[in-house]
Chains A and B, each alone.
Chain A
Amino acid sequence: MIETELHDLSDDADYAASQQQGSQSITRSDSGRRSEPEGAEVVYMKDNVSIHPTQYMSERISGRLKLIKQGDSLFLTWIPYKGQNTNTRLSERGDSDRNNLYTIRPLPLTDVRSIRRHTPPLGWQYIIVVLASGLAFPPLYFYNGGVKEFLTTIKQHVSLVRSADDANVFIVNDFQDPLQKTLSSLELPGVVSVAAQSTNASLVASSSQVNQGRSDVSSYDSNTGSQSLRRQKNKSNDPTKDLSIQVLEKFSLVTKFARETTSQLFGENSGDPFLSNEWKRPSHSQSLPDLQSQPSTNDLEEVPCEVPVPADPMEFEKLALVWGKPRQPPMTKEEWITFLDSEGRVVDSNDLRKRIFYGGVVHELRKEVWPFLLGCYDYNSTYAEREYLRSVRKQDYEIIKLQWQSISPEQAKRFTKFRERKGLIEKDVVRTDRAFSFYDGDDNPNVNVLHDILLTYSFYNFDLGYCQGMSDFLSPLLFVMEDEFEAFWCFAALLERVGPNFNRDQSGMHAQLFALSKLVELSDSPLHNYFKQQDCLNYFFCFRWILIQFKREMRYEETMRLWEVLWTHYPSEHLHLYVCVAILKRYRNKIIGEQMDFDTLLKFINELSGQIDLDSIVRDAEALCICAGETGEACIPPGTPPSLPIENGLVSSQLEDEVL
């Protein structure tokens, strides 16, 4: 049976490298040793190898991974850096406790059963170290690369054999009949019950994220899932138990997906993904016997793999780590006050923006908070300073407004540009959100206010003038700010960022659509290839999304929520592009499966209006943004709207610390 695992590995670059560099010495050592080896030689060291302690990608503990050789024995250690802030608002335990919990003290490689390497198309390579006992350490993410060297180094000192079932699983110390091991680990009731229990709990959080892409879980993933599952055993007194169970649980989830997917795909799968792809959460009664009855290693090979739609390459990531942080309720007045000092300054604007990013603000607060987000008020300003600024701005607004109010009919006759602009604005304000109560009915005065602000703006920014879509931006601003002049200044501030959307040469829109195509290419190359094949790479079907920041895609309240979230510029000032990617990925199966061409795609996308679930899409977008990291940012050319406001230097440096 051993020969099934002793595969020819010559096709594997990592393996080939190891073959060249090292001799295959199989070493055994005293597995009882746990203390720091003396006179040891560090044969491998890598910084910035990190774990995600809570399944949220934004929480991270970084440390140093080492392989230490002492005599004939090889040890692995991973020590988190001291004093680092894992920064989470959600965490309750002290950081030092947490870090201790995850520390890997010198671990003899003889205790390691296998190392699973995962190379996501987007994000960082990670490994999962599975112990002979069946326990697994949490995934170790190599933020500075180095997985290949890591495996190569191990290969130089101990036996490392690639698994026959999965090219990414490297078996250490493989002396046992693999089938035997498989069966024995599967029959352990402890594993099953714990896994089933916790799986159920975690599904509540993740089911809405996974349901759309569910059918993407390919047989490839299901293999790796079962692989790891088979190698797990439970051990109750180990501090890493919780984490290993999480890993186990996620893998079991994958397996389960694969099976359900298969039956769905070849059974009832048809038309509407909203209905047919609704994920049925497994109950205890289903999952228990299900897991146990999985009879042999061949079980999963029976899963047909003629999935009609190429798999979403990030689907596995979604399952391995919970996808984005849960959204919070909107920030209340009481919370808002805690962000202000006695004179009204925002003490920590990063903290504030982060809070708003994760939940928005209650509607009554918008009038107060939006001007900060839009850059109308400095976070460091006091109540008194803002009061003064208000009075100045009120006057300034009146002065600009007078510029067009003072144009007599006689002058207007000789002022074509003015008449044209006024005409454009008149045509648009009467059809802007007229179904919304604030603007409905005949002779609604708010419609006139819209008109006056837009015409005043077209004088304030005469070069840009008025362009269709601007009234969409203004409408919620006026609704929130109520005062005409305050709405005007908020609008002017917003257009400092999104004004290039209305450039005559469409350069602002082209830049964003281009960045979007790059981001899709990065995060879902099959989808990118599909768009390419359909000659859809101009992404004009997303034009409306970007031009007015999803204003036409959601209900009024949701638009306001999304906007305040986007305006935090946390975790990226281009989060709106990741929102686009998130929506496209959510419907990728439908788009590809139904072979939509450009026309059909545009129609489909326009008709998504009102059907986008804001919270889960923002969550997806956040996770995509974090996964894409610097690679994602590199997809977005400098100067792509919305342009950088002043505080953004802080955002990026803060993000480096906090999120990644």
Chain B
Amino acid sequence: MATIGHNNLNAKLVLLGDMGAGKSSVVLRFVKGQFLEFQESTIGAAFFSQTLAVNDATVKFEIWDTAGQERYHSLAPMYYRGAAAAIIVYDITTQESFSRAKKWVQELQKQGNPNMVMALAGNKADLEEKRVVLAEEARTYAEENGLFFMETSAKTAKNVNEIFYEIAKKLPRAQAPQNPAGMVLVDRQGDAARASSCCS
């Protein structure tokens, strides 16, 4: 959950998505500015934190990076439980990873925190020549499901900071009059209700 102290917000964020989609690479780009061509697989989970300044406040992200394989699916609730935000990552070069991303969205809509800010990240955007998932297709899906969408590249750093920055801006801020967070909150609830009714 996002917790607030003065102008500082702590927000738990979880990364979900198919294995090899680039979850760890996105985090490492954001947290350490690094990119490894052959980033090793994540066993169990990894935890990172990074702080962003948004307007006059700071948001400290506590980031859970999870193992992607379906086999480890049963561990996921432990990591997304209580998360204020999620980035669902897929690889634009495989249709399977996009399908998997949709499943994650469904699961979060059912099981996750109803106020969760969800972002859909089409990663490996630098591999345009291998693209399988069209940006338009993903954008449409995202809009229908109340997510915001960006194509990212951990390799080139494209949109990596931006996606975290967008999440930071969208995080609900209770009792923050200068911020239209109430709107966001209401929107999110509406989205969640709509999504869960169609999925269940």
Contacts and interface: CB of A to CB of B under 8 A. Distances in A.
Contacts of B41: 427-428, 431-432, 468-469, 471
Nearest to A430: B38
Given A431-B40, A434-B38, A599 B71 contact: no
Contact of A543 (B19, B44, B48, B62): B44
A495 interface: no
Nearest to A506: B74
Contact of B72 (A427, A432, A433, A468): A468
B47 A599 contact: yes
Contact of B44 (A432, A471, A540): A540
Contacts of A493: none
A602 interface: yes
Nearest to B41: A468
B71 A467 contact: yes
B96 A423 contact: yes
A468 B48 contact: no
Interface stretch (A66-74, A268-276, A544-552, A583-591): A544-552
Interface string B10-29: 00100000011000000000
Interface in A404-454: 420, 423-424, 427-428, 430-434
Interface string B26-45: 00000000000111110111
Nearest to B74: A506
Task: Give the interface centre of A423, A467, A468, A504 by most chain B CB atoms within 10 Å.
Answer: A468
Nearest to A504: B71
A600 B63 CA distance: 11
Given A424-B19, A540-B78, A602-B45, A468 B38 contact: no
By size class, the interface of chain A is 20 to 34
Contact of A544 (B38, B43, B62): B43
Contacts of A540: 44-45, 75, 78
B193 interface: no
Nearest to A468: B69
Contacts of A547: 43-44
B8 to A, nearest CB: 17
A552 B39 CA distance: 13
B174 interface: no
Contact of A602 (B12, B47, B67): B47
A85 interface: no
Interface string A537-559: 01010011001100010000000
Contacts of B19: 424, 427-428, 468
A502 interface: yes
Nearest to A502: B71
Contact of A506 (B38, B64, B75): B75
Nearest to A552: B43
B46 interface: yes
Nearest to B48: A603
A299 interface: no
Contacts of B74: 504-506
Contacts of A544: 43-44
A103 interface: no
A502 B70 CA distance: 12
B69 A599 contact: no
A331 to B, nearest CB: 30
B133 to A, nearest CB: 16
A603 B49 CA distance: 9
Contacts of B96: 420, 423
Task: Give the interface centre of B39, B47, B64, B75 by most chain A CB atoms within 10 Å.
Answer: B47
Contacts of A427: 19-20, 41
A380 interface: no
Interface in A463-497: 467-469, 471-472
Contacts of A54: none
Contacts of B72: 468
Interface in A511-559: 538, 540, 543-544, 547-548, 552
B62 A424 contact: no
A606 interface: yes
A259 B41 CA distance: 47
B57 to A, nearest CB: 21
A504 to B, nearest CB: 6
Interface in B71-90: 71-72, 74-75, 78
A420 B99 CA distance: 13
A505 B72 CA distance: 9
B46 A606 contact: yes
B75 A468 contact: no
B47 A603 contact: yes
Interface string B128-150: 00000000000000000000000
B69 A467 contact: yes
Contacts of B48: 603
B75 A606 contact: no
Given A431-B40, A434-B38, A468-B41, A606 B71 contact: no
A555 to B, nearest CB: 14
Contacts of A548: 43
Contacts of A505: 74
B47 A606 contact: yes
A359 B71 CA distance: 36
Contacts of A434: 37-38
A432 B19 CA distance: 14
Contacts of B40: 431-433, 552
A547 B46 CA distance: 14
A472 B43 contact: yes
A606 B47 CA distance: 8
A472 B40 CA distance: 10
A432 B41 CA distance: 8
Nearest to B37: A434
Contacts of A506: 74-75
A471 B42 CA distance: 12
B38 to A, nearest CB: 4
Contacts of B64: 599
B43 A543 contact: yes
Contacts of A502: 71
Contacts of A432: 40-41
Task: Give the interface centre of B19, B44, B71, B72 by most chain A CB atoms within 10 Å.
Answer: B44
Nearest to A471: B41
A432 B47 CA distance: 21
Given A468-B72, A547-B43, 12 more contacts: A427-B19, A432-B41, A467-B69, A468-B69, A469-B41, A502-B71, A504-B71, A540-B45, A543-B44, A599-B47, A600-B47, A603-B48
Interface of A: 420, 423-424, 427-428, 430-434, 467-469, 471-472, 502, 504-506, 538, 540, 543-544, 547-548, 552, 599-600, 602-603, 606
Pick the 9 closest A-B CB pairs, nearest first: A543-B44, A427-B20, A431-B38, A603-B47, A434-B38, A544-B43, A544-B44, A468-B69, A602-B47
28 contacts: A420-B96, A423-B96, A424-B19, A424-B69, A431-B38, A433-B40, A434-B37, A468-B41, A468-B43, A469-B41, A469-B43, A472-B43, A502-B71, A505-B74, A538-B78, A540-B45, A540-B75, A540-B78, A543-B45, A544-B43, A544-B44, A547-B43, A547-B44, A548-B43, A599-B47, A599-B62, A603-B47, A603-B48
